[in-house]
Amino acid sequence: MEEEFYAIIKLVSGEEVMALVSVDDNDNDPIIILQKPLILKMNNYANASFIKVKPWIELTDEDIFMIKLDKIITITETNNQRIIDIYNNYNSEDPESSPPPHIPSSGEVSLDSKMGYISSVKDARKRLEALFNLKPNKES
């Protein structure tokens, strides 16, 4: 068995899978071994982009899968540290181990003015009523 490397694999089914890969070349019939394969999909919206991550096979507890070469269109090794970090973070044993730094481990985020929160409804109503009452009445 050869050395492990991170790779993105395009299958004949059209799926693109990322995994930690090794090659078993016994009997001149190579088999690709995938460890914890994921489907990563890039989504772009207006000025932002994000990567959607999900398991390649969702309804199993297995971590290792084998694929014959005739089911693969191409394999490319990836050294993109951002993608490798996403892969490792998703596959970490303890999902609570390393939440992103801007999100508390509880998952609750308090609102602030950067998110569009300016005031409560009660305070906004008072300010708007005060502005409305200050305007001169042109009908009189």
Q: What is the mean pLDDT of the chain?
A: 82
Domain covering 1-96 in this structure, CATH number: 2.30.30.100
pTM: 0.60
pLDDT of 18-33, one tens digit each? 999 998 887 778 899 9
Render pLDDT for 42-55 as a digit per residue (tens, 0 to 9). Answer: 888 878 888 888 89
pLDDT > 70 in the chain, percent: 77
Cα separations in angstroms, 32 against 41, 58, 93, 115: 22, 20, 24, 46
- Are the C-beta atoms of 51 and 42 separated by less than 8 Å? yes
pLDDT, mean of residues 61-83 = 91
User: From CA 127, how far away is CA 18, in angstroms rounded?
Assistant: 53
